[in-house]
Each structure stands twice: as structure tokens, then as C-alpha cells.
Chain A
């Protein structure tokens, strides 16, 4: 078993290619998450707007992007929309996953904001606080707390979705695992290794969220 582990994952520098693949996965996931969160916040604001000219396009965006398989979207962007351009495949993947994630994040933000108590905002306004201050000090902290578990799931989903980027010439973690499987003809072993690495990434995300909770509790305790 140890010998197999060495032959498949260490010998010849295979572990370095795994790290490179992992780096590509982390890059796409992280940058798509940043883009998706910023864009998602914008779409959420549009979706909650009283003006139909804003809310209808936002609803349409969410319906289309959430309803289409991300692999199809990725291939459409890379092979059709950016076919004639020299935009790097990694950038296309970040844009695609960012757009797709934005639709999910917009909806999770909307549901979190809707779940907060509007009476508290009204009370703040009565006390003379501005609309922004009421949002910043009352609505946002509560909505963030409500959205946190779903946001965490969205990040984990995003990491897993990126495993299809091999279709657009990117050598990510899945692609590297497949390459090693094909070369060594030990696909079962390599799939398990791949799963463990993805699981590790998911637990890292869970750990970061758990850590933020601990820090928050400690801060609250210190006060």
C-alpha cells in the first residue's frame, strides 16, 4: 500500500503536478467566489428593487443562470462567446463560475434579508437613524448570520463544480487525478485520492467558518 502510494503520488514528481492542479482549482474557486459575491450582491439589490426595470432582469438572470448546467455555460463561454478572443481559459472559467455563483448568492442574500425583522429597522428609523445606518447596524449583521450556513454550502458546491474545467483546456485537480489514473492505470486508487483532497478543501472551508464563529464568540465574551 505504501509502495503504491509512493509510486503513484510521489515518484517522478507527481505530487508537484497535484499541487499545481490544486492551485488551479483554488484560484478558480476563490476568484469566482469573490466575483460571484460582488455580482450576487448587485443582483440581489436589483431583485429587491421596487422598480420593475431592475427586478425583472434580475429575476431573469437568476432563472437562466441557476437553471443552466454550469458545464454547458462554461463550454458556451469558452467555445462560442470567447472563441475568437485570446482570453485565457482560466479567466473564462472564473467569469463563468462567478456568474453562475452570483445567481445562487443573490437568492441566498435575498432570502436572508427577507428573514430579518423589519420592525427593528422601523424602530431605528423612528430613533432618527438613516436608512443606511439601519441596514448597516441591524439588518446586515442578522442577515449575514442567517446566510452563513448556506453561503458555506455554496462555496463547497463551487469548489466541486470546478472539476469540469478540463473541458476547457484547464489542468485542474480533477484533470491531474485523471492524468495520473490514465498513466498508471490505477483509477480506483486515484479517485479515492482525489476525493480525499476535495474533502480536505471542503473541510478547510468549514474550518474557516467555524474559526470565524469562535473568534466572534471570544470577542463577544471579551466585551
Chain B
């Protein structure tokens, strides 16, 4: 019994000491998903907002803390390790609808582009995806998908649909992370769900190709692409509005990025108590 109490007390002491660490009031820690590029575009509005009522606003610096997935960032936000998370407003609304501690501050001047990525050696797959996205944009299918499917996923948990299958057609392996709702997540029954699946369904129907979903950790996407274990992956990029109109198909470090299939405005996700 004595030993048990000693262990409990030691644990409590460690917890107390760890929470005693002084927080640097001059630093605002912003969580961001790795590779999102948020650090290049964070403006002073975040500073101003996060420190509302604080006269020392201008002296505060922003420190970006990178995370491989949203859940880790959210845990650090709830435990106070970071002050906010910068991400697109759709994801922010999804989180706020399911976690009542979360508040969302929209940033209409920030844009997050959702695209798909292939290796530049895999031009055939790139063309299939990029052409389908272009066509869907041109005929308004994409807008209608965003209006119907995306909103449904933000507000409710609709039953995920199966991807179409075409006998004897080409199969493209797509990497999905399952940790970026409402775009990419795994439903309660274990099936891949979200707007990205709705998009793939439409592309499959147009291009008459089969998609094989490969669930992979976000941090391993680049490795999986370069090794050929997957043919394409979903990709997000934070950009400023002044370049959003020019952001289309581009080539980065041996990879081809398709035209964006969805552009969302940015937001700051924070705890209601910090608002």
C-alpha cells in the first residue's frame, strides 16, 4: 500500500512540475499540418486575433509547430501546448461540430488548395486525374459535388459509398490518410469516407478506371509515391489569395500536382476559452 501511494505521489509531483513550466507569453504557437505551407502565409491578423486585448501584440512572434495529423494537433491544442491550429474552414467547422471546446475564426484572405499528386514519371495517371478535374470544373459537376457532398459530410455522418468497379479497367492506387475530415476520413464501419471519395467516384465514372484505396500515414505519402506503392495521393497547400488565381497544375520536386479540385478559405482553430 505504501509503495502504491509513493508511486501515485511521484506521478503527481511529475505532473505538477511539468505544468509549472513558464509559458513564453511573447510566442504564439500555431499548429500546422506538415507541408501545408502555412508558415509562408501566416499574416499579422492571426497575431492580432489571438492576442485580443493584449497591448503587447506587435512584439509577439509566431512559432509554427508541425504535425503529421490533425488529431495530434488537436490534442496539443486541448492540453495548451499550442495556442491555435491553422487550417481550412471546412475542416475547422467539422471539428467544431463534434468537439464543443473548439471555436473557429475564419480567415477569408487565406486559401487552402486541395489537389492530387503523382510522380512526374507517372504522367499517364496524372493526365487521367487532371483531365477529369478540369472537365468536372468546366461542366459544373465539381461545384455541385462541393455543394451536396461536402456540406453533408461537415454536418452529418452520411453512409460512405463504394467506389465503382469496371471489369478489366486500369486500376490506380490512391493513398488516403483517413485523418483529414471532412475530405478524407474513415467511417465508423471502417470504410474510407469523405469528399475525396465522392470525387474519386466521379473521376472513376468519367475515366472508366478503378481506384484502389491504400490507407497510409500522412508522413509516408512521399515515400509511398516514390517507391510506386501508390500512384497518387491527395495534397493540400496553404496559399495567399494574391497567388490563388495562378495556382493550378504545377511541378514540385519530381512530383506533378493536379489542378486544385477544391479551394477553401483558411481559419484559426482555437479553444473557446482562449477566444
Residue of B nearest to A184 (CB): B98
Closest to A17 in B: B190
Is B232 at the interface (CB under 8 A from chain A)?
A: no
Which residue on B lies nearest to A8, using beta carbons? B188
Which chain B residue has the least Cβ–Cβ distance from A12?
A: B188
User: Residues of B contacting A65 with CB < 8 Å?
Assistant: none
CB-CB under 8 A from B79, the residues of chain A are 188
Q: Which of B179, B214, B223, B229 contacts A179 (CB 8 A)?
A: B179
The reply on B228 being an interface residue by CB < 8 A is yes
Q: Is the CB of B180 within 8 A of A168?
A: no
* Known A184-B98, A185-B94; contact A13-B216, beta-carbon cutoff 8 A: no
CB neighbours (8 Å) of A169 from chain B are: 214-216, 224, 229
Known A-B contacts A169-B224, A186-B99; the reply to A191 vs B216 at CB < 8 A is: no
Instruction: Determine if A79 and B224 form an interchain contact, defined as CB atoms under 8 angstroms apart.
Output: yes
Contact A187–B216 (Cβ < 8 Å) = no
B223 close to A182 (CB less than 8 A): no
Give the total of A residues in contact with B, Cβ under 8 Å: 33
Contact in complex: B217, A167 (CB < 8 Å): yes
- The answer to whether A183 and B99 touch (CB under 8 A), given A83-B227, A167-B220, A188-B75, is no
Structural contact, B75 and A17, CB atoms closer than 8 A: no
Per-residue CB contact flags for chain B residues 100-144 toward chain A (1 = under 8 Å, else 0) read 001000000000000000000000000000000000000000000
Q: How far is the CB of A82 from chain B (nearest CB, A)?
A: 9
Which B residues are CB-close (under 8 A) to A17? 186, 188-190
A13 touches B189 (CB 8 A): yes
- What would 9 more interface pairs be, CB under 8 Å, given A17-B186, A180-B186, A187-B74? A12-B189, A79-B224, A79-B227, A166-B216, A167-B219, A175-B178, A181-B71, A183-B187, A183-B188
Closest 4 CB pairs of A and B: A12-B188, A179-B186, A79-B227, A182-B179
Binding site for B on A (CB under 8 A): 11-14, 16-17, 20, 75, 78-80, 83-84, 166-169, 171, 175-176, 178-188, 190-191
